Structure 1
Amino acid sequence: MARRPAAPPRFPKVLPRGPQLWDASTSRWNEDNTDGIFACELIESYLRLTKGVRRGELVQLRAWQADLICDILRLVPGTRQRAYWTYLLLVPRKNSKSLLGAGLAVDGILDEPGAEVYSCAADKDQAKIIFGEVRAAVEMSPELDAKQGGLLKVYRDAIEYPATGSVYRALSSDAFTKEGLNPSRVLFDELHAQPTDELWNVMNQGSDTRAQPLIIAISTFGKKTQTDGEDTVCYQQYQYAKQVMSGEVDDPRYGARIYETNDQVRGFTYLDQRVWEQANPAYGDFLDPEKMAAVSRKLPEPDFKTKRLNIWVTQAKVWLPEGVWDRCEDGGQEIPDGAEVCLGFDGSFNNDSTALVVVRPGEPLEFDPDAPEHADLDEDERDRLAAELNAGLRRPHIDVVQAWERPKDAPPDWAVPILEVEAAIRAACKKWTVREIVCDPARWARTYQVLEEEGLPVVEFPQSPARMVPATQRFYEGVMNATVTHSGDPRLARHLANAFVRNTPKGFMIFKETKGSPRKIDLAVASIIALDRACTPPERPPTPQFFNWAEL
């Protein structure tokens, strides 16, 4: 018996898109690795388009839509258990989010006896729109609408499947009760619009007795932060999904598809139609390029970027352009025991995080442009000679030793484990030949005193503009010119991505996006100060001088 092909990867590097129609026989999905085959057949057999010139026609799923549904309903290999309990879909407007939501809602009603399916919206008006979409899809299908002999009864505020006692309702964040909810499937519409995370948390905590619970968030991008400086629930889930995708967080029960536009490439402009396809899987199909171009001329730039290109818009300036840090990765390089290194330390006690990084200095450059023998060379000859002499030299290498971050569910009195931090610093000093332990003297003075008394080489590096501006510039130039390498640690990549640059009287420094933002940058700060000291030649011990007594 031929073995069926394995399911597609959880997080494909290239997301599916385009006008190609769904054909299950040509895909890697089958009934052994997903429940989505049934859902796709249900949608194409019974659901009809509710708007436009093709209103009333049966839905024809594109391959990318069906692939998404199959991924949402993916099965754990060798079982009939669903892989995901939570799924995040971020895709811009006009890519058939409503159709997908309606299909998943109807499939949820038929999923198990006594199913409770809910659509969640930010307010009552949006909840009515969502319910209206599902109701219209049911009422247009003779096979589904009970009035036409179908399976489902449609009421003013609910849709029921009497044969199994299953029901579908729409809720809003300003009109719901926590009592009596036992959801089997929940669809969050436009998660970015949720005013708080209250409804999200309630629906995620109410499915403990369900065999196959599933929370699906379908949204565009929106605001990163709330008025109190905290991350919005949508941006929280975006950040978490990125951690799962990178492998930083191991959560096999969390799935995601994020269609977004890379706006950090050189020469990017949001009006360039060549970049619109990145975030819009339906672009060039039922998302008409000419109509989208017309919208781009009418919408304000922030709205177009957020709703039509899935770009998080902020007033602050992101520090490192997209992709340049990844280009410097050398994951196969390990810093050997006994190597000379600098440690970078940036710490707090409770609100932020505490970071310890290691930087191995690069080999000294072989070319000295100021040497007398090079005085007669022109600039091109100097560059050529420098490239020849410096080829193959080891570049400074950055890695994370350890990081301590406040857990999301931490109690109010949570604090960084100071003794554990001190033990990690001592262990690093035993592993490598530590030239310096570079740290900001603020807040951790006791630890520095203890380590200094033990003979460890603590060096203070105050985070003042006079010190941080040139260090930040050195780090930036090293990354942009690929003259540094790093291990690929996803925590460091996340902290660097969270860093925003602002101009100070002394020059540019990195900061959080907002003072109260929970997004950490401590690993970035520790890397900056450690790299700066690692690239600074150590001071030589003073040479003894001898004097002639007769000359004194």
Structure 2
Amino acid sequence: MTVPATFPAWVFDDSPIPDPLGHGQRAVDFLRVLKHPKSTARGRQFQLADFQERIVRRIYGPRHDDGRRKVRTVFMLLPRGGRKTTLGAGLSLLHTIGPERTPGGLALNAASDREQARIAFEEAAMICREDPRIADKVDIVDYRHRLSHPKSGAVLRAVSSDAGRQHGSTPVFALLDELHAWPKRDLFDVLRTGLVKTAGSLLVVITTAGKGQANIAFDLYSYAVKVATGEIEDEGFLPILFETGPNEDWRDESVWRRVNPGLELGFPDIDGLRQLAREAEQRPADREAFRQLHLNVWLDHSATPFVDAAVYDRGARPVDLEAIRDFPCWLAVDLSSVRDLTVVLACWRLDDDSLAVWPWFFCPAEALRQRSERDRVPYVTWAEAGHITPTPGDVVDYGAVEDCIRDLSDRFDVREIAFDPYLGQQMMAALGDDGLPVVAMRQGALTMGPAIRDLEHAIVGGRLAHGGHPILRWNFANVVVETDKAGLKAFNKGKARDRIDGAVACAMAVSRAMAGDSGRSIYDDESARPDGILIL
């Protein structure tokens, strides 16, 4: 069994954790004084497992020479059932009624929605009510999700993703629960900028693994991986990643035990995991859920991916458009709906028989932020980075798309421009009238099945370079593959908000590039229209 390089061995190896001022010890002592209504320990004592104690000591113990706490951000990846909520509630109280509180300080429990935000808050409230010594010294207003310590003025509140109401907040502590489920990053940005207003503030993210890469949780996870592996040095960022490597056997119980540090103590329940694993053997969607939620494997969107993400990512080597400009080029255009994503994708066939692709994406500029929230992807950031072109208005400007095609035809040795004729007739006619090599490529199974097969062979064979374009990768991650009785594969999207346009265009362009200059169709019944447009 290969242990991932990100594994936090320090949690278990009993190595010394610096605590020059004793803040780590006092944090542990405070948590052990608490009582929990669901505790099975004597006197309902708060149960702090050894691995949790090590984590608490590592957060609060290490200090700079002037006494400031070194850790400012914690990113903990812990599977479902690992008692994330209990630990988070304890840390929240540490900053509200415990030794880490500051006079008038604000602690926040934040989540994607109101109900999720209540969970950690309600657990903190239960802990306070369980001990009369604490209950008499705090005020709890349930309907406002507010717990206060009048003597110090410290307050604990639960907040959800209505970020507009949080502007102006200056928290000293923020617990971000299940960040992978947050539909947008607004609340994160507001809390993050609020925390830096206060010296010694602390951000704690406790989440299970998520899906996809176009979200704030993956951004933080990626940074955590780089810190954990030493690629980035940042002593203020503490990564605690209980995750399973992509090639590990999800059925191996030794993997379960390593990733679920509380399993030996009964959380989660081992028999329950075994039952889920037995059922997942026969149901792919359940298997992916098991890997994500119980083994912390960060998934792409589709439960039945076209190709494994690691295989696809091998093609992320750079694509230098200037260096390949003289190689033969094939274009594919997926116009989609005028209100959704449109793409022009180019594929070059290189001397070594490898292929390089690059896309140009378009979307309506109007309501771009709302579109980002709907699709849960950073269109605004992508636009700023030049990965997508927002065209004026609330529909895609097909004129801008046509201009792009003409420009590419001037810059490169374009042999064919493949369109789905369903939406492309008008543009095809205009381009064809000017002598550009337009072909109609129907989107039925008999056309796209072989095209998808060609694309799969190119990716799996390591022949396709795509430069790691983020929108193209997102499109591939959204693909759900369906196979008919003849063995032909088709691309579909798993959810209404998912977009797969770039993947479809990639299959079209790659297939035509692999067919070469012969103009041959994939079919024996190819025909040509009188206007010179080749029909495939």
TM-score range, shorter chain: 0.5 to 0.7
Q: Give the alignment partner of residue 359 of structure 1, picking from 347, 350, 370.
A: 347
Which deviations, in whole Å up to 9, do the C-alpha atoms of 1:81-130 show, x marking residues without a partner?
Answer: 9987xx87553124341344124423554566543334357677993674
State which drifts further: 153-162 or 333-342: 153-162
Report if the CA contact (8 A) 2:213-2:474 is conserved. Answer: no
Structure 2 counterpart of 1:426: 406
Structure 1 residues 108 and 512, CA gap change in structure 2 (3 angstroms): farther
**Cα deviations by residue, 1:164-201 (Å, 9 ceiling, x for unpaired):** 52211446899xx969994735545456889xx69x96
CA distance in 1, matches of 2:128, 2:51: 15
* Partner residue, 2:444: 464
1:409 paired residue number: 370
Name the aligned partner's letter for residue 14 of structure 1. Answer: T
Q: Which residue does 2:227 correspond to in 1? A: none
Shift in alpha-carbon separation, 1:207–1:245, aligned structure 2, 3 A: closer
State yes or no: 1:445 paired with 2:425: yes
Query: SS of the counterpart of 1:320?
Result: coil
- For residues 68 and 527 of structure 1, the distance between their equivalents in structure 2, rounded to whole angstroms, comes to 47
2:122 maps to 1:131: yes
The Cα shift of 1:522 comes to 1.5
Aligned partners of 1:68, 1:510: CA distance in 2, in Å?
Answer: 47
Equivalent position of 2:8 in the other structure: 16
Q: Which residue of 2 aligns with 1:340?
A: 328
The change in CA–CA distance for 1:260 and 1:401 in structure 2 (over 3 A counts) is same
> What is the match of residue 309 of structure 1?
295
AA partner of residue 116 (structure 1)? L
3-state DSSP of counterpart to 2:400: helix
Match of 2:356 in 1: 398
% same residue: 23
List alignment gaps of at least 5 residues for structure 1.
1-11, 31-36, 222-233, 364-393, 542-552
Any idea what SS the aligned residue of 1:318 has?
Answer: coil
3-state DSSP of counterpart to 1:435: strand
Which residue pairs with 2:105 in the alignment? 115
Q: Which whole-Å deviations, capped at 9, do the CAs of 1:192-248 have from their partners, x for residues lacking one?
A: 889xx69x9678768987735987664446xxxxxxxxxxxx76897443367679x
Residues 436 and 215 (structure 1 numbering): CA distance in 2 closer, same or farther, change over 3 Å? Answer: farther
The within-5 A match list for 1:451-490 is 451-490=431-470
Equivalent of 1:98 in 82, 85, 101: 85
Q: CA–CA distance in 2 between the matches of 1:432 and 1:315? A: 34
Q: Which of 22, 31, 48 does residue 47 from structure 1 map onto?
A: 31
Partner Cα separation in structure 1 for residue 123 and residue 154 of structure 2: 18
Matched to 1:323, the amino acid is: A
Offset from partner CA, 1:130-181 (integer Å, 9 cap, x none): 4334652797799xx596xxxx63647454244552211446899xx96999
**CA displacement, residues 513-539 of structure 1 (integer Å, 9 cap, x when unaligned):** 13x1x2221221111111101111212
Q: 1:275 to 1:454 in 2, by over 3 A?
A: farther
Query: How far off its partner does 1:465 sit?
Result: 1.0
2:516 matched to 1:537? yes
CA distance in 2, matches of 1:479, 1:501: 15
1:361 partner letter: R
Indicate conservation of the 8 Å contact 1:119/1:131, yes or no: no
SS at 2:423 equivalent: coil
**Structure 2: distance between partners of 1:528 and 1:459:** 15
SS in 1 for 2:402: helix
Farther off after superposition, 400-409 or 129-138: 129-138
Structure 1 match to 2:482: 502
Q: 1:207 to 1:294 in 2, by over 3 A?
A: closer
Contact 1:439–1:460 (8 Å) recurs in 2? yes
| 2:523 aligned partner | none
Q: Which residue in the other structure is 2:154 paired with?
A: 166
Using the alignment, how far apart are the partners of 1:428 and 1:246 within structure 2?
34
CA distance in 1 between counterparts of 2:348 and 2:72 reads 41
Q: 1:63 & 1:524 partners in 2: Cα distance? A: 47
Query: Paired residue for 1:366?
Result: none
What SS does the corresponding residue of 1:415 show, helix, strand or coil? Answer: coil
Query: Would the aligned equivalents of 1:341 and 1:433 in 2 still touch at CA under 8 Å?
Result: yes
Amino acid at match of 1:473: R
Q: CA deviation at 1:15?
A: 4.6
Q: Distance in 2 between matches of 1:53 and 1:508?
A: 56
Kindly indicate which of the two structures has a greater share of residues assigned to helix. Answer: 2
Residues 52 and 296 of structure 1: is their aligned pair in 2 closer, same or farther, counting only changes over 3 Å? same
Alpha-carbon distance, 1:468 to partner? 0.1
Gap change, CA 1:283 and 1:345, over 3 Å in 2:
farther
CA distance in 2, matches of 1:274, 1:235: 24
Shift of 1:470: 0.4
Amino acid at match of 2:360: Q
CA distance in 1, matches of 2:238, 2:493: 28
**Aligned match of 2:217 in 236, 241, 245?**
241
TM-score norm. by structure 2 comes to 0.65
Deviation of 1:454 after TM superposition, in Å, equals: 3.6
For the residues of structure 2 that align with 1:258 and 1:431, how far apart are their CA atoms? 47
Whichever residue aligns with residue 13 of structure 2, its letter is: Q
Q: 1:187 to 1:459 in 2, by over 3 A?
A: same
Of residues 508, 512, 537, the one that matches 2:493 is 512
**Is this contact kept in 1: 2:121–2:157, CA < 8 A?**
no
Query: What is the CA–CA distance in structure 1 between the aligned matches of 2:398 and 2:17, rounded to whole Å?
Result: 56
Matched residues in 2 for 1:271 and 1:81: separation?
Answer: 38
C-alpha displacement of 1:462: 1.8
Shift of 1:42: 5.5
CA RMSD of aligned residues (A): 5.2
- Distance in 1, matches of 2:400 and 2:22, equals 52
> What is the rounded CA distance, in whole Å, between the counterparts of 2:140 and 2:114 in structure 1?
20
The equivalent residue for 2:415 is 435
Structure 2 residue 318 is the aligned partner of structure 1 residue 331: yes
1-side partners of 2:295 and 2:86: how far apart?
20
1:294 matched residue in structure 2: 271
CA–CA distance in 1 between the matches of 2:348 and 2:473?
18
Computing the radius of gyration from Cα coordinates, the structure with the larger value is: 1
CA deviation digits over 1:306-360, x for unaligned, max 9? 5423467999622212422123443376642322221232223454322232222
Are the counterparts in 1 of residues 319 and 356 from structure 2 also a CA contact under 8 Å? no
- Supply the distance in 1 between the matched residues of 2:63 and 2:399 (Cα, whole angstroms): 44
Q: Give the whole-Å Cα distance in 2 for the aligned partners of 1:131 and 1:452.
A: 66
DSSP 3-state at the match of 1:117: strand
SS of residue paired to 2:451: helix
SS in 2 for 1:409: helix
Deviations 1:434-482 (A, max 9, x none): 1122222232433333333343322222211111000101111222233
